[in-house]
Amino acid sequence: MSTKNESRFLIDQLSKIKNVLIIQDIDGVCIPLVKDPLTRAIKKEYVIAVSKLKKEFMVLTCGEHEGVRGVNRIIEREFISIDKVRSEGLYLPGLAACGVEYQDRYGNGTCLGISKEEIKFLAEVPIKMEEMMRDELNTLFPNLTNEEIKKQAKRSICDTRFSPTINLNELFIIAGNNIDLKRDLQRIMEKTMFGILNYAIDRNLGNSFYLHKSPNLGKDKGQEIIKFAQENDIGTTDIQLIINGALKEAGLLVLINKYIKEATGESPLGDDFNVRIAPKSINELVSLCKAKINEQDMPTIVGVGDTITSNKDSATNKFLRGGSDRGFLTLVQSLGKAFDKSNKVIFVDSSDGEVYRPSVKNDNLNGITDAEDELKFDLILSEGHKEYIQWIKELASARS
């Protein structure tokens, strides 16, 4: 795993580059993973450090900025003053909900590429999700009372504005060490969310949404593959209903476009560019950048994430590679090659939170990456969010 000398060397490298853009995930990177999202906390020292980076820092997350469960609320609680956070620009700027919820560091937000009909539907579906989960849990847990079933179904639903989610962390506690029961929970979660997609079809919104499974094993025929629980790997913990086109790799281009607009006054991809109209594949995204962006305007990009998976399929002897950060980190790497920039990819080991994940602490990358993986890490922070916070504090100090 990476050493402190390697970490310091990367900071020294980045401190000498004129145009740098750090783009990071949030949960698992600067906030430890927890079973209950409402208990998340963020370090004040981290928020202050990244605010010093100003236009050189943005987030790219499948979580959300606003709402009861949003990261903005976590920051406001930490500083005990909404006025202070807003006036000093202490919100985390960038894209949330995988690319449709944008805000600047003062909390001024906008929705990108989403219709009123879709917003209305997303506000309604958490109730439907809870009803469907309650029916499934009644069958799976016949010994639980109706009140307990209602409570567990309610706990499993995250009623976020742009990405309503089923989260199994609390239900996994009931399952204990029973791997088969955890897999059954994952199956009913997936069944429920497929039911929501059918509900969208009934509302003439069949082309509006897709399911994001975290973590996952990549895609098969355009759909993300659920990662079933096994010993020492809890697998998929949640499934989000996401706006079609809202992919992190597409969101990366939105952020690059906004960075260049602030630096030059021009949006190379257009002022209205959003994830809904972006190409879908890595190659197409790179080609679009090459066609529209001048090499001198493209910054050196540092991509930071924690959700990367690689598991060998025993039936085919091939690796299934996925994870919600894989796409955008691969694009960061590809853009570096295409524009002759020293782009960097940083992996943060998030296994020290409340949600078990494969770890690098055993001196291997099993379950995360493999020798044949095209995605290569420039820095591995084995001590998780604590080490990353220290790293970015040092980087902010070096660039200020």
Q: Is residue 110 in some structural domain?
A: no
Q: φ, ψ for residue 380 (rounded to 5)?
A: -120, 120
Same domain, 388 and 254: yes
Same domain, 159 and 257: no
As for how many domains the chain has, the answer is 2
Q: Which residue among 218, 243, 268 closes a domain?
A: 243
Q: What per-residue confidence (pLDDT) applies to 391?
A: 98
Same domain, 258 and 372: yes
Q: Is residue 95 in some structural domain?
A: no
Same domain, 280 and 148: no
Packed helices 71-79 and 44-53: angle between N→C axes, nearest 10 degrees = 110
Q: What per-residue confidence (pLDDT) applies to 153?
A: 96
Q: Is residue 72 in some structural domain?
A: no
Q: Which residue among 197, 222, 243 closes a domain?
A: 243
Q: Which of 313, 155, 306, 156 is nearest to 227 (CA)?
A: 313
Q: Residue 230: which H helix or E strand, with range?
A: none
Q: Is residue 138 in some structural domain?
A: yes
Same domain, 266 and 315: yes
Same domain, 199 and 312: no
Q: Which of 54, 59, 55, 91 is nearest to 72 (CA)?
A: 91
Q: Is residue 91 in some structural domain?
A: no
Cβ-proximal residues to 143 (8 Å cutoff; 6+ apart), any chain: none
DSSP string, 158-194: E--SS--EEE-HHHHHHHTT-HHHHHHHHHHHHHHHH
The CA angle 227-228-231, to the nearest 5 degrees, is: 115
Same domain, 168 and 267: no
Q: Is residue 82 in some structural domain?
A: no
Greatest CA separation for the chain: 65
Q: Is residue 76 within 8 Å of residue 85, measured between CB atoms?
A: yes
Same domain, 175 and 267: no
With a cut of 50, list the residues of the chain below it in pLDDT: none
Beta-bridged to residue 64, according to DSSP, are none
- Rg (C-alpha) for the chain, rounded Å, is 20
Beta strand pairing status for 238-243 and 223-226? unpaired
Q: What per-residue confidence (pLDDT) applies to 400?
A: 83
Cβ-proximal residues to 3 (8 Å cutoff; 6+ apart), any chain: none
Q: Which residue among 224, 243, 262 closes a domain?
A: 243
Same domain, 23 and 137: no
Same domain, 159 and 215: yes
Beta strand pairing status for 238-243 and 209-214? antiparallel
User: How far apart (Å, rounded) are the C-alpha atoms in residues 202 and 199?
Assistant: 5
Q: Is residue 89 in some structural domain?
A: no
Same domain, 329 and 351: yes
Structure tokens at 323: 């994870």
Q: Which of 55, 46, 49 is nearest to 19 (CA)?
A: 55
Same domain, 222 and 259: no
Could you list the beta-strand ranges (E) of 77-230. Answer: 94-96, 101-103, 109-111, 157-158, 165-167, 209-214, 216-220, 223-226
Q: Is residue 104 in some structural domain?
A: no
> Whole domain around residue 348: which residue ranges?
4-37+44-61+249-399
